[in-house]
Amino acid sequence: MSYLRVDGSNMKETKKTHAIGLTGGIGSGKSTVSDIFRNLGVPVLSADQISRDLVTPDSPLLQQIVDTFGTDIQNSDGSLDRTGLAKIVFNNPERLKILESILHPPIRKTMSEAVSAFKGGYCILEIPLLIETGQWQTVDRVLVVTSDPEAKIGRLTGTRNLTQQDVQKVMAAQLTDRERIQYADDVLKNDGTLDDLARQVEKLHALYSSLFDS
């Protein structure tokens, strides 16, 4: 399998860079894993970061979101109140689908264009909804990050403006780690120290480098 062109045609015959789809539940440590890969010199693309780059104040995409969900989801400086929007959509599956229909197409297009520019080796695509959106079928390998639920809650209540109840609602709406693992080629268990996680990532980097030697 290979990440797809913007027009949907398969890039397997022409693209040498292999895509590793990185996913996991909220608070599992996906961004930390991405940072470790990045420090090892691996190109990393984050769907969340692309979303932030696309939804800037005065951007057409932000205006579309405001038109759909109301001005209450904007901060005083005109930026998107992501926490407020998250609370709205995670309590309403239909509204979540609407938001995804707005955001996902331009995110996929931007990500695919970026992958096309890479030359050789492999890259990491950090996509929270990799499995749910079917994008797991477009990457060469699926890497799932798992973590104990209590650890996830602790990370999120400590670093984001979310209550324990907010986090539990999000977790309940997502796939479980067990469900994600069914799609995984590789699994990282983020239940120890940062050094423990880094050692696991380094082993995977060695594996991927041998599999996808440019």
Reported as a pLDDT band with limits 50, 70 and 90, residue 213 is confident
Q: What is the separation of C-alpha 54 from the centre of its chain, rounded to a whole number of angstroms? A: 15
Query: Measured between alpha carbons, how far is residue 35 from residues 93, 124, 126, 159, 189 in Å?
Result: 31, 10, 11, 17, 16
Q: Model-level pTM?
A: 0.85
What's the confidence (pLDDT) of residue 166? 80
Residue pair 128/28 in contact (Cβ under 8 Å)? The answer is no
Identify the CATH number of the domain defined by range 18-211.
3.40.50.300
Average pLDDT (28-37) is 96
Is the pLDDT at 112 greater than 70? The verdict is yes
Over the stretch 71-102, which tens digit does the pLDDT of each residue have? Answer: 999 999 999 998 889 888 877 889 989 999 99
Query: Is residue 4 over pLDDT 60?
Result: no
Annotated domain spans of the chain: 18-211
Instruction: State how beta strands 141-146 and 186-189 pair.
Output: parallel
Cα 130 from Cα 108, distance rounded (Å): 11
Q: What confidence score (pLDDT) does residue 34 get?
A: 98
pLDDT above 70 coverage of the chain, percent: 91
Q: Read off the pLDDT of residues 155-203 as tens digits, 9 standing for 90 and up.
A: 888 777 678 888 888 888 889 999 999 999 999 999 999 999 999 999 9
